[in-house]
Amino acid sequence: MPILPLSIPKNLDKHFYNREKDLKKIKHYLNALNEDISEQILVTGLRGVGKTYLLKKLLKELPDNILVAYIDISKIYGNQRGKINEELIMHSLLDSMNHALRGEEDVLSGIYHKINDFLVKRRMEKYDFKEAGSILGIAVPETRDNYEKLSHFVMKFPQKVVDASEGAIKGFVIVVDEFQLLGELENPNSFFWLIRSYTQDQDNVSYIFTGSISKTSEIVEMINGGNGAFGGRMIQVNVDPFTREETEGYLAEKVGEISFTQDGLERFYGCTRGVPAIINSFCNTLSSGETYDAAKIKKTFFEKMDQITVMWIRIWGTLNEKEKEIMIQIAENGPQSWSELEKSVEFSRMTFTKYLDVLKNRGIVTFGAESKYEIADRMLEGWIKHKKEVDGYYPP
Ligand SMILES: Nc1ncnc2c1ncn2[C@@H]1O[C@H](COP(=O)(O)OP(=O)(O)O)[C@@H](O)[C@H]1O
Ligand SMILES: [Mg+2]
C-alpha cells in the first residue's frame, strides 16, 4: 500500500508535483520587491487543493534578502475556540514577523530581542511597557488594551525592518492563511482597510492572503471587490485542482506501483476531481498488486469513504450541534435561501444567523448561485448523505 502524505510533508520537495506556472507567477510578483514595488496577492482555491503547500514551497525558495512571516488564522481560531479579535491577530502577526528576524545579525538581531521582550511582557497579565518608548522609531503601546497603537506598530514594523537593514533585506512577505476566517472579526471590513492604508505607502512589503474559498465569495469581494479595501488592486491567483492529465501524471510519478485501466483512471479522476488531498487519501486505500478498473474504483470509494474524506470528517468533528443541523438541512433539501433554511431549523433566528455565518466564514457553506446557501464541497455533501444511507442516521 502506498503512503502519500495527508498533511504538508516536512520534506517539501519530495512529494511536490508540478504547479510550475503558479510558482512562477507568484514569484514574479514577489521579485518586484527588489525593485521597491510591492504587490498584494490573494490566493483562492478549494480546501485541499494545495494552496498552503504551494506557498510553503515558494517561500522556501525565496532568496535570503526576502524575509517571510506566516500566520494561519484557522490555527488561531482553533486555539481560541472560535473567539478571535483584531488584537489577537495583530499580536500573532508581530510574533511571526519577529520570528523572521531570528538568526539575523547586527541591527536586526537587536530588534529581534527587543520585540521578543515586548511580546513576552504583553502575554503577561500585568502588562506595563511604559519604559519602552519606541522601537525602530515607532511608538510602543504602553498598555495592553491600546489596540490602535498596537496595530500602528505592527503595520509599520515590516517596512521599518527593511529600512533599518540598510540594504541587506529587500522585502518582507507576510502570508495570512485561511484568511476567510477574518470574517469572524467584529468588523472585518475595517481590518482590511487598515492593512490597505498602510501597504499603499510601503514599497517592500507584500501580503499574501489565502483562503479555502472560491474566487467569487463574499469575503473576496469585501477585500478586493470594487468597493473593497483593495478595490481590485490585489493580484488574484486561483489554485485549480489537477487536470485529468496532471492527475494521471501525478499518479505515475508518485504511486507508479498502482495500476489503473483507462476507465479506472477516468473514474478515479471523477471521484477525486483532481483535489490532491483527496487523491492522496484515496491512493492510500489502494493496493500495489491490483489493477483498478472503474468498477473496482467505485467499490473502493464507497467502502473506504471515511478514509478518503478524512479531511472533511476532521472538520465535521469541529462543528457544534447547531452547525451540524444546518449542514444536514442543506444536504437533505439541497441549496436553500436564507428564509427557507431558517424555517427548517429548530433554533432561534439569532442563533441560526450566528452559526450560518460561522459556516460561511469557515468556507464550509457557500452563498452561491441564485442567492442560495449550499455545501461548499460535493464530497462533504456526498459523505453526509452516504452516512445516512448506510447507517440510517446522519453522522453525529
Ligand atoms: N502540488 C502538490 N503535489 C503533491 N501533493 C500535493 C500538492 N498540493 C497539495 N498536495 C497534497 O494535498 C494536501 C493538501 O494540500 P494543502 O496545501 O494543505 O491544501 P490547501 O491549503 O489548499 O487546503 C497536502 O498535504 C499534500 O499532501
Ligand atoms: Mg491550507
332 located within any domain: yes
Query: Which of the four pLDDT bands, split at 50, 70 and 90, describes residue 26?
Result: very high
CATH classification of the domain holding 169: 3.40.50.300
User: Which pLDDT score, from 0 to 100, does residue 345 have?
Assistant: 95
Query: Which of the four pLDDT bands, split at 50, 70 and 90, describes residue 13?
Result: very high
101 located within any domain: yes
**Nearest CA among 85, 92, 93, 77 for reference residue 187:** 85
Task: Give the gyration radius of the chain's Cα atoms.
Answer: 23
Least confident of 108-112, 129-133, 213-217, 336-340: 129-133
d(CA 142, CA 368): 45
Ligand 1 pocket check for 19: Cβ under 6 Å: yes
- Residues 285 and 326 occupy one common structural domain: no
285 located within any domain: yes
- Residues of the chain above pLDDT 90, percent: 88
- Look at residues 185, 217, 238 and tell me which one is the last residue of a structural domain: 238
User: Which pLDDT score, from 0 to 100, does residue 113 have?
Assistant: 94
- The bound ligand whose nearest atom lies closest to the alpha carbon of 74 is 2
User: Which pLDDT score, from 0 to 100, does residue 131 have?
Assistant: 62
Q: What is the mean pLDDT of the segment spanning 105-112?
A: 93
**Tens of pLDDT along 49-82?**
999 999 999 999 999 999 999 999 999 999 999 8
> What is the 3 state secondary structure string of 154-182?
HHHHHHHHHHHCCCCCCEEEEEEECHHHH
User: Which pLDDT score, from 0 to 100, does residue 128 have?
Assistant: 64
**Tens of pLDDT along 328-364?**
999 999 999 999 999 999 999 999 999 999 999 999 9
**Tens of pLDDT along 220-266?**
999 999 999 999 999 999 999 999 999 999 999 999 999 999 999 99
Query: Which of the four pLDDT bands, split at 50, 70 and 90, describes residue 125?
Result: low
Q: Which of 7, 19, 53 to mutate to test the pocket of ligand 1 (most atoms within 8 A of CB)?
A: 53
- Residues 107 and 213 occupy one common structural domain: yes
- Residues 135 and 216 occupy one common structural domain: yes
User: Which pLDDT score, from 0 to 100, does residue 80 have?
Assistant: 92
Q: What is the mean pLDDT of the segment spanning 128-148?
A: 77
d(CA 112, CA 284): 43
Rounded to the nearest 10 degrees, what angle do helices 106-123 and 147-164 cross at? 160
129 pLDDT more than 70: no
> Which numbered atom of ligand 1 lies nearest the CA of 46?
22
11 located within any domain: no
Grid coordinates given for 328: 444536514
Q: What is the mean pLDDT of the segment spanning 93-117?
A: 94
- Residues 39 and 141 occupy one common structural domain: yes
User: Which pLDDT score, from 0 to 100, does residue 370 have?
Assistant: 85
CATH classification of the domain holding 260: 1.10.8.60
User: Which pLDDT score, from 0 to 100, does residue 124 have?
Assistant: 75
Q: What average pLDDT is seen over the chain? A: 94
**Tens of pLDDT along 177-208?**
999 999 999 999 999 999 999 999 999 999 99
Ligand 1 pocket check for 8: Cβ under 6 Å: yes
Least confident of 42-46, 131-135, 336-340, 382-386: 131-135
The CA distances from residue 2 to 114, 237, 270, 321, in Å, are: 48, 32, 21, 36
- Residues 154 and 127 occupy one common structural domain: yes
Strand spans (E) along the chain: 41-44, 66-72, 134-135, 138-139, 171-177, 205-211, 235-238, 259-260, 291-292, 365-367, 373-375
- Residues 103 and 226 occupy one common structural domain: yes
159 located within any domain: yes
Ligand 1 pocket check for 242: Cβ under 6 Å: no
- Look at residues 194, 216, 238 and tell me which one is the last residue of a structural domain: 238
365-367 vs 373-375, strand pairing mode: antiparallel
Q: Check if the beta carbon of residue 341 is closer than 8 Å to that of residue 326.
A: yes
User: Which pLDDT score, from 0 to 100, does residue 256 have?
Assistant: 94
Grid coordinates given for 233: 488592486
- Residues 85 and 178 occupy one common structural domain: yes
Q: What is the mean pLDDT of the segment spanning 36-54?
A: 97
274 pLDDT more than 70: yes
269 pLDDT more than 70: yes
The CA distances from residue 271 to 141, 173, 305, 318, 342, in Å, are: 53, 36, 11, 25, 32
- Residues 300 and 322 occupy one common structural domain: no
Between 316 and 125, the higher pLDDT residue: 316
User: Which pLDDT score, from 0 to 100, does residue 181 have?
Assistant: 96
9 located within any domain: no
In total, how many domains does the chain have?
A: 3
**Amino acid identity at 117:** D
d(CA 322, CA 339): 16
* Atom 17 of ligand 1, nearest CA residue: 50
Ligand 1 pocket check for 88: Cβ under 6 Å: no
- Residues 298 and 338 occupy one common structural domain: no
Between 20 and 134, the higher pLDDT residue: 20
Ligand 1 pocket check for 51: Cβ under 6 Å: yes
Range of the structural domain that residue 380 is part of: 318-391
5 located within any domain: no
- Residues 113 and 213 occupy one common structural domain: yes
- Residues 63 and 184 occupy one common structural domain: yes
7 located within any domain: no
User: Which pLDDT score, from 0 to 100, does residue 90 have?
Assistant: 96
Q: How far is the CA of 9 from the centre of ligand 2 (A)?
A: 13
User: Which pLDDT score, from 0 to 100, does residue 368 have?
Assistant: 80
CATH classification of the domain holding 322: 1.10.10.10
Least confident of 46-50, 54-58, 136-140: 136-140
Ligand 1 pocket check for 281: Cβ under 6 Å: no
- The bound ligand whose nearest atom lies closest to the alpha carbon of 255 is 1
Q: How far is the CA of 300 from the centre of ligand 2 (A)?
A: 27
Ligand 1 pocket check for 210: Cβ under 6 Å: no
**Tens of pLDDT along 149-164?**
999 999 999 999 999 9
- Residues of the chain above pLDDT 70, percent: 97
